[in-house]
């Protein structure tokens, strides 16, 4: 009896969300009269046996009542490619639809991309199709568009809530309306706030392994959970399949996931074995992942800033690399009875592994991420560096990403990585403008060659420490021991 009551309540929820979704779609179209006119013109030109659907993530967004629902994707059933081309040609000639241009992705991938004057978005309009995987990876498919219906197309979709369609029709007043078509129980997934693969999860992930990261990304974007069988398949197949995906596609998904929830993304990438395969450097030490989570938690308000998030993501690995370098030097010196190599030069803190990881993941703004991590590593080792304030000034001078680097360094101080306050140092520098430049040093008759850079650091630090505001006094005091 309890089971029957639960089933009845669930059916009521499904019907209520269907009604609400169709009402929201109607209102959504009312706010987009040009799109409504376009849909009306497209339907009017299709044969009676053909049908038109709105598909993809936009359908889910409208049903959920999201105001920013975009990326307009459509699907045409029972229409050949040549017929669709003629329809768009006809609509382009009819000026009322305001079509600027349309291009075909080709018969092997039956999609038209239509650009219009009433939105900057490009409309993607595809034929319903089935895809038979002929190998691992998202490119190996046999595609069929002959006699393919909406149900068959829904079976190739990744997740059930992405397989919900709006069938576009006209009402008795000749106005466009949409009816929800849900072959894969996507409405139930929305109600349960669940990401569930269509059909057998293994099949979907073998067809396109990127879907494993897409599930994690959507989990963190939407605040959903991943259904157990889907999650088990991700954990099982990640080690085998993720290396078949291009680093550019991987980068897009992980960045979007971090932008939504950095710490939860970190946990998901760890539990799914993604990090173990793609960033094994995290497992050099048992504390690296946990310490990274702490940093990302502190940086939550900056989660939409790729430079800050990516830099903090890899900063623990960079720190560990430097510690290992110092340990190796100390060990070598001890074994060979040599003097310890000084680590008071900022160049000592340049990392190699970090550069490899940044390239491996195809992260955006690579040179800036690397430089931000380098400055951060210098900053947390400031007590070991000679002329430390002058070095910080030198590293941040003319740096286009200065504000982001300051925030990264400040987070390091907040979590106890260093006692130094980057903002206090910068204030001190601002209050004491530089007295002597390299050119002025040469004009004064001093030419130290390769050591000029070091001498300038020393002079600047002498100025700051002794609060000197006279150039002649600074030269006399700063250079007397050189």
- Tens of pLDDT, residue by residue over 17-30, are 999 999 999 999 99
Q: What is the residue whose two structure tokens read 């420490």?
A: 465
- The DSSP result for 341-402, as a single string, is PP--SGGGG--SHHHHHHHHTT-SSHHHHHHHHHHHHHHHTGGGSTTHHHHHHHHHTT-TTH
Structure confidence by residue, pLDDT tens digits, 315-363: 999 999 999 999 998 888 888 887 766 678 999 999 988 999 999 999 9
Question: β-pairing, 225-226 with 73-77?
Answer: unpaired
Report the alpha-carbon distance of residue 257 to residue 276 in Å, rounded. 18
Structure confidence by residue, pLDDT tens digits, 265-275: 999 999 999 99
Identify the weakest region by mean pLDDT among 169-173, 336-340, 427-431.
336-340
Q: Phi then psi for 451, rounded to 5 degrees?
A: -90, 0
Q: Per-residue pLDDT for 2 more than 60?
A: no
Q: Per-residue pLDDT for 4 more than 70?
A: no
- Residue among 229, 305, 220 at smallest CA distance from 267: 220
Read off the pLDDT band of 139 (50, 70, 90).
Answer: low
2-192 classified as CATH 3.30.460.10: yes
Return the pLDDT at 444: 81
Fold of 202-277: Hydrophobic Seed Protein (1.10.110)
Q: Per-residue pLDDT for 118 more than 90?
A: yes
Q: What is the residue whose two structure tokens read 């400055």?
A: 375
Return the pLDDT at 376: 96
């Amino acid at each position: 009896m309890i089971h029957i009551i639960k089933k009845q309540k669930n059916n009521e929820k499904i019907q209520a969300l269907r009604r609400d979704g169709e009402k929201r779609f109607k209102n959504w179209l009312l706010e987009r009269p040009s799109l409504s006119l376009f849909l009306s013109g497209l339907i009017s030109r299709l044969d009676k046996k053909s049908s038109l659907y709105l598909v993809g993530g936009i359908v889910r967004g409208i049903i959920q009542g999201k105001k920013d629902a975009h990326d307009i994707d459509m699907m045409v059933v029972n229409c050949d490619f040549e017929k669709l081309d003629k329809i768009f040609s006809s609509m382009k000639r009819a000026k009322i639809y305001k079509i600027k241009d349309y291009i075909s992705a080709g018969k092997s991938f039956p999609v038209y991309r239509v650009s219009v004057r009433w939105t900057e978005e490009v409309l993607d309009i595809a034929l319903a199709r089935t895809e038979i995987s002929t190998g691992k990876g998202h490119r190996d498919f046999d595609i069929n568009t002959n006699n393919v219906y909406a149900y068959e197309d829904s079976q190739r979709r990744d997740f059930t809530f992405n397989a919900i369609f709006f069938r576009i029709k006209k009402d008795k007043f000749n106005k466009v309306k949409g009816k929800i078509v849900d072959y894969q129980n996507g409405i139930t997934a929305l109600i349960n706030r669940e990401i569930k693969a269509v059909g057998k999860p293994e099949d979907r992930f073998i067809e396109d392994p990127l879907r494993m990261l897409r599930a994690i990304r959507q989990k963190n974007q939407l605040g959903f959970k991943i259904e157990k069988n889907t999650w088990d398949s991700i954990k099982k197949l990640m080690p085998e399949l993720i290396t078949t995906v291009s680093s550019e596609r991987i980068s897009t998904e992980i960045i979007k996931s971090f932008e939504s929830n950095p710490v939860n993304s970190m946990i998901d990438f760890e539990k799914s074995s993604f990090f173990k395969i793609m960033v094994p450097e995290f497992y050099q030490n048992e504390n690296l992942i946990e310490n990274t989570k702490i940093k990302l938690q502190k940086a939550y308000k900056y989660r939409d800033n790729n430079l800050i998030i990516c830099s903090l993501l890899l900063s623990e690995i960079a720190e560990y690399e430097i510690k290992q370098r110092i340990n190796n030097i100390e060990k070598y010196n001890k074994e060979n009875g040599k003097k310890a190599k000084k680590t008071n030069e900022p160049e000592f803190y340049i990392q190699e592994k970090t550069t490899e990881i940044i390239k491996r993941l195809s992260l955006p703004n690579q040179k800036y991420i690397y430089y931000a991590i380098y400055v951060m590593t210098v900053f947390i080792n400031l007590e070991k560096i000679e002329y430390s304030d002058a070095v910080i000034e030198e590293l941040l001078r003319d740096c286009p990403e200065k504000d982001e680097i300051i925030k990264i360094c400040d987070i390091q101080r907040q979590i106890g990585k260093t006692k130094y306050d980057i903002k206090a140092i910068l204030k001190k520098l601002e209050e004491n403008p530089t007295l002597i430049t390299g050119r002025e040093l040469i004009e004064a008759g001093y030419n130290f060659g390769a050591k000029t850079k070091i001498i300038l650091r020393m002079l600047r630090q002498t100025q700051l420490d002794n609060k000197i505001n006279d150039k002649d006094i600074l030269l006399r005091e700063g250079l007397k021991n050189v």
